[in-house]
Structure 1
Amino acid sequence: MSNYFIEFEKHLMEDEKPSEYFNSLIELGAYPKEYPFNMISDLIKTEQNLEYHPEGSVWNHTMMVVDEAATRRNHSENPRVFMWAALLHDIGKGPTTKVRKGKITSYDHDEVGERMAREFLEYFNEDKEFIREVTALVRWHMQILFVVKDMPWQNVEKMDEETSIEEIALLGKCDRLGRGDMNRNTIEKEEKNVKAFLEKSKKKLSRKVQK
């Protein structure tokens, strides 16, 4: 087991703001350059659409998300799974981010991210159930957007089979609040979106049971 993996986990599980540790590694040039840690550090140079992510790079966003997650990890069903999912949730944006028609996009980063998160964790010989739980959160973290906006990529039934909808909602809240230029109005809007996601998802599942 890599000492860095152990350190990463210690700070994810114990720090009030894990981003301070991760950013200090980058600033000091001490972040591990070897595989598979580069799968995360590649996010430093991965830009995002500033309309939705005024904080800039995927790394900046990820750091904000892990800090949000740290304030809520005690509400999680499995804090260790939850915090690793927060760190790895957008790992798939590295290879999927492209400029299309002048806009930065990262289509399918949730599906690619699931595979990359599994590859990352398997490198450290983590147990299969832990990997399954983390990668399921990575895979389905975009469902909040898809369900709330009734987009064709929503799949509540499959999501429910693979993970906890409440955990997706908790991670999704961190994902949506971990952005730049947040204020009271935008925070309230995102909290309403998470609530709507839970309500719509449970309604869809109850209809399935009734059939």
Structure 2
Amino acid sequence: MNKENKIRKELEKVLLTYEKPSIYFEKLRKDNKLKILYPEINDLIGVIQSPVHHPEGDVFNHTMMVVDEAAKLRDKAKFPLGFMYAALCHDFGKILTTTIKEDGKIISYNHERAGLKLVRKFLKETTYKDENNLRNYILNMTELHMQPNQLANQNSKLKSTRKLFAKSVCPQDLILLAKADALGRTVEQNYSLKEEYLINGLNDYLNNKEINKNDKL
């Protein structure tokens, strides 16, 4: 097995079997190997975030917390490996978009889309050439990861959740990613109402999808 394949297999093992994948990345960081093996993850270090919404610190800290939360949910995911990759990659765009406004507010507008080119680069190095379904899943999840919680916060109508889930390659896993993202912070919160909103929206989407499908038969 060559060096590249060994790294890929090791990352897959970490994402699919570790109770806390953050331990692996923290060790690489401590040993100064993170920037060599996974430069995009290393670049998350020092990228600041709003202390109000992310008192846990920089984007690297947040990502490590999200990956650990995702590990608690991966048995529920329809595509566990892709789901864990998405948790790891979801905020790459903050490397490119994070700025401080004149009033001191820290923003990273459209980071979910801006980060797709970094995610593609990361996946080129950590996945195999024929894993198109895996890469497409991760890119789709990354691009949409903000929207479930945004809709829940706004208590948007079912039309909005239907539209979102229609764009998702796996709505069930997108909901899990949104949950991991929300809980991967040091802000105390009860996620149950948001989760209930999203699950109700998913059930509505699936039911209407079935109805529309039957209408076409």
Give the match's secondary structure for 1:102: coil
In the alignment, the residues of structure 1 paired with residue 153 and residue 71 of structure 2 have an alpha-carbon distance, to the nearest angstrom, of 28
Partner of residue 23, structure 1: 26
- The normalised TM-score by structure 1 is 0.85
Partner of residue 196, structure 2: 195
Larger radius of gyration: 2
In the alignment, the residues of structure 2 paired with residue 51 and residue 16 of structure 1 have an alpha-carbon distance, to the nearest angstrom, of 28
Q: Which amino acid counterpart does residue 112 of structure 1 have in structure 2?
A: A
Change (3 A) 1:108 1:159: farther
Contact persistence 1:147–1:201 (CA under 8 A): no
Identity of aligned residues (%): 33
The answer to whether residue 12 in structure 2 is matched with residue 9 in structure 1 is yes
1:205 deviation in Å?
7.5
In the alignment, the residues of structure 1 paired with residue 164 and residue 19 of structure 2 have an alpha-carbon distance, to the nearest angstrom, of 34
Partner of residue 144, structure 1: 148
In the alignment, the residues of structure 1 paired with residue 149 and residue 81 of structure 2 have an alpha-carbon distance, to the nearest angstrom, of 25
In the alignment, the residues of structure 1 paired with residue 80 and residue 59 of structure 2 have an alpha-carbon distance, to the nearest angstrom, of 22
Change (3 A) 1:121 1:60: same
Match of 1:135 among 132, 135, 139: 139
Change (3 A) 1:200 1:74: closer
Partner of residue 174, structure 1: 180
**Deviates further, 108-117 or 196-205:** 196-205
1:45 deviation in Å?
1.2
Partner of residue 215, structure 2: none
In the alignment, the residues of structure 2 paired with residue 180 and residue 2 of structure 1 have an alpha-carbon distance, to the nearest angstrom, of 35
1:144 deviation in Å?
1.6
Q: Which amino acid counterpart does residue 31 of structure 2 have in structure 1?
A: L
- The normalised TM-score by structure 2 is 0.82
Runs of 4+ that moved beyond 4 A: 201-210
| Residue segments in structure 1 that go unaligned for 5+ positions in a row | none
Partner of residue 119, structure 1: 121
**Deviates further, 75-84 or 198-207:** 198-207
| Residue segments in structure 2 that go unaligned for 5+ positions in a row | 213-217
Aligned length: 202
Contact persistence 1:136–1:163 (CA under 8 A): yes
The answer to whether residue 60 in structure 2 is matched with residue 59 in structure 1 is yes
Give the match's secondary structure for 2:48: coil
In the alignment, the residues of structure 1 paired with residue 164 and residue 56 of structure 2 have an alpha-carbon distance, to the nearest angstrom, of 32
1:83 deviation in Å?
0.7
1:147 deviation in Å?
1.2
